[in-house]
Structure formats: C-alpha cells, structure tokens
Structure 1
C-alpha cells in the first residue's frame, strides 16, 4: 500500500515504522501527524493505556509547543528519584516556538531512558518541518501514527466498519449504512455511537438494533425522506418530510441528506462494471455502490442533473437565501421525486 501523503512534510520516504492509529505502541518518540482529531486522540490514549498497564506509577505531563519555556522538555523527561516511567504529551507542534524546536531537535540526539514523548502535529502548517524530517529519518528511534482527515462518505463508512472489526463484532450491511447515515455530520459522534452499540449489545448488530438506539436522529429522518423521493414516491416523501419537520428536524441536515445521496449517485453513474470494481475505483465501500446503483434505476443524466441543481438551490435557501426554508425543502422534494422542474 502506498504511503500516505503528508501535508507540509518531506517527500523523502520515512525510515521509521508507520502504525495504524487503532494500534499504536510506545516508543521514545511517537509522532501523531494529521488533522483528524478523533483518530489522534485514540492513538494518544492508546499509548498511555499501554504504558499505564505496564507500570501504574507512570508520570504523565502535558506541555504546549507553542507556549514552551526553555528547559521544560529535559526537565519532564529526566528520571525522577524513584525512577517512574514518564509520558510527555506535546500539543501544538505545528505552531511550535523556536525554543521548543531547538530543544526537541537536541532531544532526538539522546532521548531519555524510560521516557515516551508524543508529538502532536495537526498538519495545519509547515512549521516544525525540520523536526518532522529528523524524526522520520530515524533519529530518536521514533514511530509515526498518521491521522489523515476523514471527510468523504466512503471514508466515514470505512471508519465505522473498522470500529466494529477492531472490536471483533459483526454488523450487517444495512445496519452499518444506517449508523453511518445517522451520524453524517460529526465523526466524534459516529465513533461514540459505534462504541455504544459495541458495548451495549451482543451478537450480530442488525438494522433493528440501530433503529432502536438511533432511529430518532435528524440525519436519519433526512435520509428516509431522500430514499422515498429518489425512488419516485412523491406523496410518501412529502408525508415523511412533514413528519420529520413536525418532530423538530432542521431543514439544513434534511437537504444535506439529499445532497449526500445524489452526490454518491452522480459518482457511481459514470462508472460501468461490477459494484466491487466500481467501489475499488472510487474508494467507496461495496454496499454504498450497490445502493447507489439501485437508486439510479430510472434516472438519466439530465434528471440527475436537475435534481442536483434543485438540491443546491435548496441548500442556499435553507441557509439564509430564502424567507421560507420549509417551502424550499418541499420544492426540492417535489423536483427529486417527480424528476421534473417544479410546477411542470
């Protein structure tokens, strides 16, 4: 597998181990690099748990690289009177001041025995590039844990699937699709939902289980309306829309649900071949491609374009371009369900 691209990093290949964020391990230097905070927090917590399990007397210190006082790193990594292991968590490396950069580079030359230093760099800037290059060259005996952003639908679905796979729990395809949809707006909430299902249920997790726990989510209501409209059920979609709005659903995520489904349909529409091959080409899970292929039955390029335009218009209107966001959503539902211009 190709090495992940690193924003603001050297093009040279890394000489240190690259670890999956769900399976980190302690090292003298642990570089946690990337913008996805959920994954970074998991990686950092995983290292701490392993060290704490090995020795409950672990000393944990947090310092900021952007507000660093000279001498701090050496002070917190030096052996104590009783020789307890030390864990130092350094945040804000992408904004580090000159004092930290100088002392961190010097520290790599001779890391302290019994100390683990975690460096958190969000990839938000190229600041600290010299330090990153030194770590990746092997200086200091470190490891790297990449945490790239998870934004695309397929990436979110893969994230959720990984949560269950890592916990050695089975979840059926419909249930996985449902929980991913229900928490389409926040990766932290998606992670928490997956963990709750893992901890509070037994056996294979099915769609009924997900709906029992999260059926009331606004995003789920939006996808239910979108499913009916895309299938051509105009009356059913309008009834479902009214029920969602009456239960407190916000028009913004309702429109977002339509946009997500139509965007996926548009990506799949231009591809030919088995779902597995299309999924591999697009970087999406198989089930998502299969669902989009089913949704595309009866659609043409022109009707799909019309629906996407209507959704884009509704998106602008529910975010302030119209005085009546409810009417904007109803008009979008009508265009999508009838596959015709509004009023035609």
Structure 2
C-alpha cells in the first residue's frame, strides 16, 4: 500500500462494539481516501478460499483493503486463510481485523502482532468511571464542554448501554449550544426510566420520604417497573458503604480503586456523614427485602418499595 496513513495490517481488539465500529470505520475512511478498494469479509457466510480470491491482483490493478469483522466468531477455514495471507503478504493488500475477545482466532492475532500490525484496543466501558471518561472524551472530541453535573445526569439517564450513551452525547452536541449541564440533560433525557430511578433513590438516601414516594408513584403511573428503582437504591447504599470505609484521599485517587467515578465519590461523601453504621445496616436489610418482593417474592411490589423507602428514610433520621 502506498499511503502511510493506511498501515498494511490493523488489528482492532476488544468487546466494546461502538469503539470497534468507530476504529474500523476510521481505517476504512483512510483507505478510501487513498483510493483503495475496500472489501468486507463476513465470517458468518465465509467460504474457504474466498480471502485469497479477493487478495489476488485484479485486471485493473490498484490497492485493496480487506476488512474482517468478528474474528472471534470465525470458522477455522477463515482463520487458516488469514494465516496464509499473513505468511505471504502482498504490498498492495491491506488487512483490517476486528476481534471481540476470547481464545478463538488467537493465532491470527499473535501473527498479526508479530508482523507489526497497528493495534487499536477497545476495552469494555463498564464502570461509572469508565462511562464518565467516555462522555468527557465524546464532548472533548466535539470541542464542547459538559459540567460534572451534566455528566452525572447523562450517565444516570442513559448510562446502561454505551451505544445509547454515545447517541445521547451526539444528540446533545448537535442540538445544543454552549456548555451542557444537568438542566440541559434533564430537558432531553429526564423522562428515562434510569433517571426516574435515580431521582427516587436520591430522595430516599437524603431522607426525603415524601418526595421519594411522590416520585415513585409518578414513575409507577407512567409504567416504570419497581425492579430497576430498587436496584438503584441498593447501588447507592453500596456506594455509601464503600466510600465510608475507604477513608481519606482525593476523589480522583479513590475512584479507580473503588470502581466509581470521582463525582460519585463526592456525592457519597456528602451523604454518608448523615448516616450511622446501624442506620446503613437497617437500610441494606430493607432494600434486600424489597428486592426479594419485587422479583416475585411478595404480593404487592409497589407497597414493598414504599415500605423500603420509609424504612430507609427513618434509618437516616435516626442517626
């Protein structure tokens, strides 16, 4: 290949689909700008020998970039053909391989790395810290600013799925101007199930039982299931316990060891001072009982959540 912007071999590894797709798309774009013919190989429909056929010189000449997706789900035939291609590389044939993880296809990965392939890693975005970093990078790439409160609100509203989180960032960048804060996020995503659950949990942890019950009844009336609401309350209680036991240190230092985002550390620190160890124990027992009941162990899931909210709010007040 003649254009240095397009490496001969590119290996995209990792389970995060959004990041994998973006990485492959950027390489494909560079290849097309270099006038390469782009050929995509689907492992699900691959037939032995097809790779060599695509790699063979055409009557019209020119460079080709072959893109192989989902190597971790490929057949033995495709893997063997890839190894053959790597054993006798053609300077006019580039190879882009995406691998989602696992041992299948590992020999191809090792061979590409030994051949000097450019490796693009796409690790899973799992923790809230990961998601915070992801959102910050999305806005930085778009040359836009988002406040820490805006990041928190966005993750609470749509952070369950990274693809949806990426789409939400894109929407806010394209539909708004200036700095994005929690008020802006709430305008666009405040009605999401996750956002409703976090509002109920926030009010409960703060001891505002009346507000928590009002939010809960509104959520139930609009079709929200009690299960995710209980899950959010349980998650916030666990964060209080983790942060309370972590001791001193900056939020940035503790974030990595606790698997939380810095803003979550700060939020938990503000709340945990209002709780005693006994109160937290009562709250944990209450949310565990509610979790059992909303998942089929009780007759009235909504009543179970209401009772948990009242118990938790009283436990905070009893400090």
TM-score above 0.5: yes
Q: Please, which of 28, 31, 35 is the counterpart of residue 11 of structure 2? A: 31
Q: Please, which of 71, 85, 89 is the counterpart of residue 111 of structure 1? A: 89
Moved over 4 A (4+): none
In structure 2, distance between residues paired with 1:116 and 1:321: 58
Q: 27-36 or 204-213, which moves further after superposition?
A: 27-36
Residues 256-297 of structure 1, C-alpha deviations (whole Å, 9 max, x = no match)? 321332232222121122323322433533222111111212
In structure 1, distance between residues paired with 2:182 and 2:151: 8
TM-score by length of 2: 0.89
- Cα 1:30–1:309 shift into 2, 3 Å: farther
Q: Is the 8 A contact 1:88 1:117 kept in 2?
A: yes
In structure 1, distance between residues paired with 2:313 and 2:199: 13
In structure 2, distance between residues paired with 1:222 and 1:77: 53
Give 1:332 shift.
Answer: 2.2
Kindly indicate whether residue 111 of structure 2 is the aligned counterpart of residue 134 of structure 1.
yes
1:1-344 → structure 2 map (5 Å cutoff)? 26-55=6-35, 58-65=36-43, 67-123=45-101, 125-137=102-114, 139=115, 141-273=116-248, 274-339=250-315
In structure 2, distance between residues paired with 1:81 and 1:232: 75
Residues 178-225 of structure 1, C-alpha deviations (whole Å, 9 max, x = no match)? 001101321111110011111211211122211111111111111111
Q: Is the 8 A contact 2:32 2:38 kept in 1?
A: no
In structure 2, distance between residues paired with 1:253 and 1:184: 13
Q: How many residue pairs get matched?
A: 311
Give 1:29 shift.
Answer: 2.0
Q: Is the 8 A contact 2:129 2:262 kept in 1?
A: no
In structure 1, distance between residues paired with 2:242 and 2:90: 52
Q: 297-306 or 148-157, which moves further after superposition?
A: 297-306
In structure 1, distance between residues paired with 2:272 and 2:164: 30
Q: Is the 8 A contact 2:294 2:301 kept in 1?
A: yes
Unaligned runs of 5+ in 2: none
In structure 2, distance between residues paired with 1:320 and 1:101: 47
Q: 269-278 or 168-177, which moves further after superposition?
A: 269-278
Q: 64-73 or 219-228, which moves further after superposition?
A: 64-73
In structure 2, distance between residues paired with 1:77 and 1:262: 57
Unaligned runs of 5+ in 1: 1-24
TM-score by length of 1: 0.83
- Cα 1:240–1:77 shift into 2, 3 Å: same
Please state which structure has a larger fraction of its residues in helix. 2
